[in-house]
Structure 1
Amino acid sequence: MYQLTHIISYLFEIYSFLVIARVLMSWVPDMERTGFGQWLVRLTEPYLAIFRRFIPPFGMIDISPIVALLALQLIERGLMTVLGSFF
């Protein structure tokens, strides 16, 4: 059980870093056109699109990734609580 929760926790952490990298990438012109940029968009856009439907950008500022990261933390904590109660 200990190893399973660590693996899940690491996966959530990695995905959080990918979302942060996507946000940072948006500050660099044409970065999304690179191979790495396209890969990063394919991994993060399905998740971020959920939040963009409900939280429109405020001018040039998009706060949906912040909400997405907070939701990701809540999902992780909830999953860890559920797994902890089973084992």
Structure 2
Amino acid sequence: MGALAEVLSYLITTLVSFYLILVILRFLLQLARADFYNPISQFIVKATNPPLKPMRRIIPSIAGLDTASLVLALLVQAAGIALLLFISYRVIVNPTSLLIWSLLGLATAFTKLFFFTIIATIVCSWLAPQSRHPALMLLHQINEPVMAPFRRLLPSMGGLDLSPILVFMVIHVLEILIHNGAHASGMPTGIVIGLN
């Protein structure tokens, strides 16, 4: 791969990853019924509204899930994979493989996003336990639907919350399954956004 192709691959990976995270966060904001008046939420909404508004006219919500956001995330992931494959290998991938790889990449993006947001929440709870910063409030709102079931499983430990350990174990198991699925599907390494 030449220098130009490498630079293009880097730029595509960075931009697609950033926008993919925004779209996933938009989905999670609605799923968690997070505060849409939070300034960070407002940024996410404004950044994702241009493609989502027309898509919502075609793709209805199913069981309260923002399916348009999920479809947009899948399309962003697929576009990134297709561009990277074409730039790196001059290959146009068949639609079935592209769909499978996009689903695997999207699943990995979700697990990584939860992993890092939970880590950030834990660190901030130690450093600034009473902080009302908009980012921390948003992290808490996004993580709470995932953390709450695990908190109910564990007995009270006198103020010590061990539920993140269980969540991290589940995330790691899911990542093992996703990586094995990626290997079984013949996915080229370094191409799927979020799977690296």
- What 5-or-longer segments of structure 1 have no aligned partner? none
Correspondence for 2:125: 26
If each structure's helix is expressed as a fraction of its own residues, which one has the higher value?
1
Partner of 1:40: 139
Per the normalisation by structure 2, the TM-score is: 0.38
TM-score (norm 1): 0.75
RMSD of the TM alignment (CA)? 2.5
Following TM superposition, the consecutive aligned residue runs of length 4 or more in structure 1 with deviations greater than 6 angstroms are none
Aligned residue runs from structure 1 range 5-84, under 5 A: 5-6=104-105, 8-27=107-126, 28-31=128-131, 33-82=132-181, 84=183
Q: The residue matched to 1:14 in structure 2 has which SS?
A: helix
Structure 2, unaligned stretches of length 5 or more? Answer: 1-96, 187-196
Q: Using the aligned pairs only, state the percent identity.
A: 24
For each residue in 1:4-59, what CA deviation from the matched residue of structure 2 results, as whole angstroms up to 9, or x when unmatched? 3455434422320111111112222312x221111101111110111001013311
The total of aligned residue pairs comes to 86
Residues in 2 aligned to 1:6 and 1:43: alpha-carbon distance in whole angstroms: 20
The higher relative CO (CA closer than 8 Å, separation ≥ 6) is in 1
Paired residue secondary structure (1:57): coil
**Separation in 1 of the partners of 2:124 and 2:139?**
9
